[in-house]
Amino acid sequence: MPELNLDGLVGPTHHYAGLAYGNLAAMTHAGAESSPRRAALQGLAKMRLVMRLGLPQGLLLPHDRPNVGWLRQLGFAGPDDEVLAAAAAEDPGLLALASSASAMWTANAATVSPAPDTADGRVHLTVANLATMPHRAHEWPGTLAQLRLAFRDSRFFAVHEPVPAAFGDEGAANHLRLAPDHGASGVEVFVHGPPDVAGPFPARQSRRASAAVARRHGVRHALLTPQAPEAIAAGAFHNDVVAVANGPVLLAHERAFAERNRLLAELETRVPGFTAVEAPEARVSLGDAVTSYLFNAQLLSLPGRMALVLPAEAREMASIWRWLEDVVADPANPIHELHVVDVRESMRNGGGPACLRLRIALSEEALAAVDPRFLLDERRLDALEALVERHWPSRLVPADLVEPDCWAAARAARRALLGLLGIAPAELGEA
């Protein structure tokens, strides 16, 4: 049973405005110059690597930005350019929120339950409401439109609207699935914020949102477990900054979960062949794990082995790289390959290789039912790279977002992308 990786293509308004409170990388780089072109090319190179490793690879599109419709909901009126000009003059920070390219992090697009786990035998996807961060809370309608187009065959897929915004849901970034293999029934672990967070940063995932997603998907074997408060305080705003799972393997920092012992005991009992590969604090500090995004990696099933796709920052930290080399050298561990990718443009805004993808285990028949315009091959990747080279800006600072030329360029880039893929704006509910 294959696993489709759906990566977000970085949009032409990718910028560093420090919009994500609690995301240390995003806060650190606030105001710096970004390169939307380099960011998109780095993401496409990672997609090409995963595809060449033998996995199906797809993409989700950058959203239409700046989000004029959202600004109209906030009281600005008139034609698009008048709305944007008024927002730029009155509240440039609000325009930065409306211009966010954060939909590139598709690990937050939705929570996915594969068919072997669900009561009706279909793949279920619930779009995340991302309610805790203003720059992300207006993403879900665009994400929902894309997922309903890509997975519109109701024989295989059910795509749900977000849970109510009163209960923050951050999608697959706080969701783990463990099973003997992708085609077997699994245990889905929904990681939520602890009841009381006394640290400097908020918990983004509500327990009630996690429980609601498990119920609406009809998940037969669900576990709800809290994040460790110290992980959130260290900058692990999502659980996927400190843990990743694949098949029967959990790769995590030993301080990722508030109820670590109970969780590991449950998984040992309920997942055949369960293996925990934990980084001890004595070798990999929680701070270094967060800074390097060691665990924000893609753990992939390949024939007879597993591979880990890591950000370059993990290789550059000597203590972390030594620990990883020990992991792959140990025959008792199932992870045998390390692949390093450069996604620095994403990393500087607080998202690594795993943030950039939504993973969906599905049957060959279900994969054939996915809208092919969202799937990639070498030829399409070549065409996307050429398009990015032509249309994506080479540099951008937050102050540029108030310029009409920036808005026009972003619109032109997205029109060219939709044209390349053969997707009409009306199919996504856009004018």
Residue 406: active-site member: no
Which one of 238, 253, 391, 406 is the catalytic residue?
238
∠ CA 319-310-110, nearest 5°, is: 130
pTM: 0.95
Which one of 138, 160, 170, 345 is the catalytic residue?
170
Residue 355: active-site member: yes
Instruction: Please state the φ and ψ torsions of residue 209, each to the nearest 5 degrees.
Output: -65, -45
Residues 108-139: tens digit of each pLDDT: 999 999 999 999 999 999 999 999 989 999 99
What's residue 237's pLDDT?
A: 80
pLDDT-derived band at 31 (thresholds 50, 70, 90) equals low
Three-state secondary structure call for residue 158? strand
The rounded distance, in Å, linking the Cα atoms of 156 and 116 is 12
pLDDT-derived band at 26 (thresholds 50, 70, 90) equals low
Domains of the chain: 3-65+100-428 (3.75.10.20)
Higher pLDDT, 173 or 196: 173
Which one of 124, 192, 355, 406 is the catalytic residue?
355
**Percentage of the residues of the chain whose pLDDT score is greater than 90:** 85
Residues 302-349: tens digit of each pLDDT: 998 999 999 999 999 999 999 999 999 999 889 999 999 999 888 777
Residue 325: active-site member: no
Give the torsion sign (CA, 382, 387, 392, 395): positive
∠ CA 342-344-349, nearest 5°, is: 145
Bridge partners, residue 359, by sequence: 5
